[in-house]
Structure 1
């Protein structure tokens, strides 16, 4: 009943053991297991749906509606509640939690071992450090301690959101962006996002002048939204995308003489 935890369930179990996953698990912008989710039923977080499906276990997340969780508990449905993961250590912990609950500890350890191998391979070949601004309509994103920051670091990027002056800002600011002079803007593709006043910074003439085109990357939120062992695959893909984007940049920013590409 949670977009992130459902991806773990899909990775651990065959379709015939899954009564349903949240409908959001089928959205490829937010789920790395969207294809697998097409093979099982879906729910919309309603207790009535769970009662009809009669599962042996309900797997919920911290953001699953409290009223739904409370009702299902009162009705006697076994339930585990899984925290949101913000680090690779968190991913290891919750993968083991869900794997144990569904009786697939060996499969869980296999997923963790594969993730750790991929992270080790990325660390052995970091390449030149690439300064990026993780950027969205709400400001400099991917703060230190977030999963997005961990994925960027694993992919070989240095996130200027964690350096002065950007580290002191929680909102988009053109002057701060100019001062940090990142080589690339890395933007998460918003899911169902509507236009608003916060888009004004992204459309600022200076932002368009210096970062439009080759200097802006838009990536799927699935790369960093949910903490599952599959984010290591996303980090591998992101590294290739970052390197390809950097290769297209021919000249440094004119105001970044002391900064590195």
Structure 2
């Protein structure tokens, strides 16, 4: 038995080494070679993590700076409009979608034998880490995801120092919709050192805030959404004289692509708000 034990240890070591090599080889071959993204948020996650040539198409919204923080980078990829027919002709071995991506397109692609992985919208800063890690797995680059998450955590910690004061802010959009603290935009606001008046209004996850109530709450800052060309009755409320008088125009800011998706680019939104808060504090 002792002799067997002496000879079995090297053999076991060899088997373990061969297993590691085989596992690495299988992992490498499992990485998808042709990836198509149908969602503005998966566009950005994939662009951050994909190997050169691995991502072959992004959504048309990914090339729009109003909705994407990586619109310029997205110009390097052919755009798709999320139609099953056009995506299938690209011969992808993996399609990335959001849980709100057209159900007809997702279902059709799956019936055609195309693998589709869906990502839920981010509802907070922790979901940035969750979806980066998930995207790293499906693309076969978990190490890249881990590195991005570590950098994100370090940069976030540097930005979120305890504020001297917490000015009261309102995230206010078309039809008077406000975004609460229990959302990605709400956590961006909190991380930048502001308090969210939606909490005072009893809307932790967001909801409709009548203009009259907004005026009575008297926020120090109103943050509105990016305006699109044309006119909309839903956006007409944002031009109401009461809203213009409530906060001086230099203190009314529009959100942009950095606010839309849970990627490390939310740090840009936080950084901009921190700088604004410092200006507000200096002016008091």
Which of the five TM-score ranges fits, normalised by the shorter chain?
A: 0.7 to 0.9
Equivalent residue, structure 2, for 1:95: 132
Q: Does the alignment pair 1:83 with 2:120?
A: yes
TM-score (norm 1): 0.85
Match of 2:32 in 1: none
Structure 2 CA distance for partners of 1:237 and 1:198, relative to 1, 3 Å: closer
Q: How far has the Cα of 1:65 moved from its partner?
A: 0.8
Deviations 1:213-237 (A, max 9, x none): 22312221x2322112221232123
Matched residue of 2:160: which SS? helix
1-structure distance, mates of 2:192, 2:78: 34
Deviates more, 1:6-15 or 1:164-173: 164-173
Q: Which residue of 1 aligns with 2:30?
A: none
Computing the radius of gyration over CA atoms, which structure comes out larger, 1 or 2? 2
1:118 aligned to 155, 162, 168, which one?
A: 155
2:63 to 7, 21, 26: 26
CA distance, structure 2, for counterparts of residue 151 and residue 119 of structure 1:
10
Alpha carbons 2:49, 2:141 under 8 Å: kept: yes
- Report the alpha carbon displacement of residue 42 of structure 1 after superposing the two structures with TM: 1.0
Tell me the TM-score normalized by structure 2: 0.79
Match of 1:81, SS state, is: strand
CA deviations 1:9-60 (Å, max 9, x no partner) are: 0111245221100010011111111111011111100112212211121111
Contact 1:139 1:171 in 2 (8 A): yes
Which residue of structure 1 aligns with residue 275 of structure 2?
240
Tell me which of the two structures has the higher relative contact order, counting C-alpha pairs closer than 8 angstroms and 6 or more residues apart. 1
1:231 equivalent in alignment to 2:274: no
RMSD: 2.3
Matched, 1:171 2:208: yes
Unaligned runs of at least 5 residues, structure 2: 1-37
User: Is contact 1:143-1:162 (8 Å) kept?
Assistant: yes
| Aligned-pair CA distance for 1:197 | 5.5
Which stretches in structure 1 are left out of the alignment for 5+ residues? 251-261
How many angstroms apart in 2 are the aligned matches of 1:14 and 1:90?
23
Change in Cα spacing, 1:243 to 1:216, as seen in structure 2 (3 Å) is same
Deviations 1:208-259 (A, max 9, x none): 2232422312221x23221122212321233223434x26866xxxxxxxxx
2:189 pairs with 1:144: no
Partner of 1:214: 250
Counterpart Cα distance in 2 of 1:167 and 1:180: 16
What is the DSSP-based 3-state SS (H/G/I as helix, E as strand, rest coil) of the residue aligned with 1:240? helix
Structure 1 pair 203–40 and aligned structure 2 pair: CA distance change class (3 A): closer
SS at match of 2:181: coil
Q: Distance in 2 between matches of 1:119 and 1:193?
A: 37
